[in-house]
A and B are shown apart, each in its own frame.
Chain A
Amino acid sequence: MRALSSVVAFAFVACAHEGGYEPVVSGGDAKRGRQAIAELECGACHQIPGVPGAWGRVGPPLAEYRHNVYIAGKHPNVPDVLVRFVRDAPSLAPDTAMPAIEMSDTQARDVAAYLYSLE
């Protein structure tokens, strides 16, 4: 845990130096996130770079997702909100076509971490 928080702290410091915003999902692992996205088959609706078969066009493409300012055009694109959104979109955007997807909290964090890792 200490190692993790120091990594997070380092990430913030590192970004501060570069002057760009680097969203970090605490407890999220991008590599596991990619796996989770493949298993949950988010690609049925989204184009997601790095995930085989993810070429859906029902929802928005998710390349360079960290540069989006809003999630679903409504909420600020910050880690806590994205973690909640990937798992339970209707609670944040009642009119969305994206259903609440059954996944664990860790999976949601991993998925968000992967989305933020997309350059």
Chain B
Amino acid sequence: MSEARLQSVLHAAPGSGAELLSELGIVLYVGAAVTFVGVIALVLHATFTRRLRASTRAWVVGGGIVFPAITLFLLLNYSIAVGSAVSAIDSGSALRLLLDCFGIDSKARIPPPAPGALRIHVVGKQWWWDVRYEVRRGDTNSIVLANELRVPVDEPVELLLSSSDVIHSFWVPSLAGKVDMIPGRTNRLVIRTSEPGVYRGQCAEYCGGQHALMALYVIAQSRADFETWLERQAQSVEAPQDALLRSGYDAFFKGRCPECHAVRGTPANGVGGPDLTHVGSRHSLAAGTLRNHIGTLAGWIAGPQDIKPGNAMPDSEEYTGRELRALSVWLESLE
């Protein structure tokens, strides 16, 4: 998928809410353009015709009251229908009739998630995303990742969005509309797509100095791939045997890393920064700022303040070159 399509309202993912929104957008833009051209044509006609034969009253009542009333009534209902279909509201029969009227059939509609459907808690933070899968009701600590969501295709997935500091906004343009993440409040968004792929999202509410570098990826996979991934994510990390990996592991605990980062299975249980249990498997580093490979890992550990000034992670100064490399190798191995 080309970079431009990764994050674009004009390239809505098939079967997603964004698809309905983009149709609504097209209807509005095209409708507005047609109306505008019509009005201008009438203005020109009225300006250059010497003797108007038209009935003034009919035009005023027809064009000024009847036409807008009907158009706005239809558009209002259409947008309500789209809104309901996108928000996965359990539609009553009146609403269903409305949806049918506008051709939003049951396939395009996002159904409300069934009880037991996948539920993911996403917390906006300056400037990254804390992602927790609710594997069993009430358990949000078994599968924790950051700046990335993996979802199975063709299933509505419920996102519970909140914030722990300032207002953020969750926006993956190819999948759905924006939903604000507000401190002290939990908002809900249901996403779905029928096409496996990588979709990029970004914080859409200015949230401080590095707002522009607060992105995330949503990776849609087949149910089987998703299950495999989920199983892997549930595993915890064991202290490595290999000498190089071991020296990286030791470097992690020699430095201040565990104060903020958790690696499940090890003594590291910090909560201030992203969970690193499977950091090697992630699509990006530093919330979509860098691609994830050994070089960027080393660069980010050593100089996060050059890359994303003002973020909570301090530059590390305690590592020798060898230690930094070993630490990067170990983190990269956590897939």
The contact of B295 among A40, A57, A90, A95, by CB within 8 Å, is A40
Does A45 lie within 8 Å of B325, measured CB to CB? Answer: no
A86 CB to closest chain B CB (Å) equals: 10
Does B296 lie within 8 Å of A58, measured CB to CB? Answer: no
Q: Which residues of B contact A94 (CB under 8 A)?
A: 322
Does A97 lie within 8 Å of B302, measured CB to CB? Answer: yes
Q: Which residues of B contact A42 (CB under 8 A)?
A: 295
| A56: interface (CB < 8 Å) | yes
A88 CB to closest chain B CB (Å) equals: 12
Does B293 lie within 8 Å of A101, measured CB to CB? Answer: yes
Chain A residues bordering chain B, tally (CB within 8 A)? 20
Given contacts A44-B296, A45-B299, A58-B299, contact A95 B321 (CB under 8 A): yes
Q: Which residues of A contact B303 (CB under 8 A)?
A: 44-45, 56-58
B66 CB to closest chain A CB (Å) equals: 55
Contact with A along B284-326 (1 / 0, CB 8 A): 0000001101111011101100110000000000011110110
Given contacts A45-B303, A55-B306, contact A96 B321 (CB under 8 A): yes
Does A95 lie within 8 Å of B298, measured CB to CB? Answer: no
A40 to B298, CA, bound (A): 13
The contact of A99 among B291, B295, B307, by CB within 8 Å, is B295
Does B306 lie within 8 Å of A101, measured CB to CB? Answer: no
A99 to B326, CA, bound (A): 9
Q: Is the interface of A mostly helix, strand, loop or mixed?
A: loop
Q: Which residues of A contact B328 (CB under 8 A)?
A: 99
Given contacts A97-B302, A99-B328, A99-B329, contact A41 B322 (CB under 8 A): no
Q: Which residues of A contact B302 (CB under 8 A)?
A: 45, 58, 97
Does B298 lie within 8 Å of A41, measured CB to CB? Answer: no
Q: Which residues of A contact B296 (CB under 8 A)?
A: 41, 44
A54 to B322, CA, bound (A): 23
The contact of A97 among B290, B298, B300, B306, by CB within 8 Å, is B298
A5 to B326, CA, bound (A): 41
Does B295 lie within 8 Å of A45, measured CB to CB? Answer: yes
| A102: interface (CB < 8 Å) | yes
Q: Which 6 A-B pairs rank lowest in CB-CB distance, beginning with the nearest?
A: A44-B299, A97-B321, A45-B299, A58-B303, A58-B302, A99-B294
B residues touching A (Cβ–Cβ < 8 Å)? 290-291, 293-296, 298-300, 302-303, 306-307, 319-322, 324-325, 328-329
Other A-B pairs, 6, CB within 8 Å; known A58-B302, A97-B325, A98-B321: A44-B300, A56-B307, A96-B321, A97-B322, A98-B298, A99-B295
